[in-house]
Amino acid sequence: MKYFHKMWKGINELSESLLIGILFFFILNMSLQNYEVVGDSMVPKYQQGDRLLLMKFSYMKNFINDDYFKPFNPKRGDVIVFNYPLNQDRKFIKRIIGLPGDTITINQGKIYLNGIRIIEPYLDNDKYKDLSDFGPVTIDNRHVFVLGDNRWVSNDSRNWGVLSYDLIIGEPMIKYWPLN
């Protein structure tokens, strides 16, 4: 009888450990995702081949009123990873420039938000800015306007339009490779 009791206790402990491991796996899988930067559109912040850990619930949807939970609402200047609108099998990384209701105009590479020129401190070097013109475009509800930091090579909202909130995966939490 003692043998069966020990065996039952061992099976019970093993099943508890297994259940905790499975629960931990699902929580991590739902909240974190790795991403490898492809291309040079976010140079100098992110380089080709950088590996990032994304916080997937950065923009958690509130199903009651179809909005997003604060403080997780997208903000100007946030870097996000999203499914490319023209091919959702691909993932892009860009910076949010405009929010719903904003009007964006680009004049000789300078960005105007609602008629006021914005300063972009994350672009510390003019070699990444281009001198193109774009807009004006007013951003729809539940959409954002995104641009790459390296404007010369970036495939962004200037090419395919505004980005729906529903395509946002999350924002980079940590760059884990390369280690520098």
Annotated catalytic sites, by residue? 41, 94
- Whose tokens are 């729906």? That residue is 164
Query: What Å distances lie between residue 98 and 28, 54, 78, CA to CA?
Result: 31, 21, 10
Measured between alpha carbons, how far is 36 from 25 in angstroms, rounded to an integer? 21
Measured between alpha carbons, how far is 124 from 110 in angstroms, rounded to an integer? 14
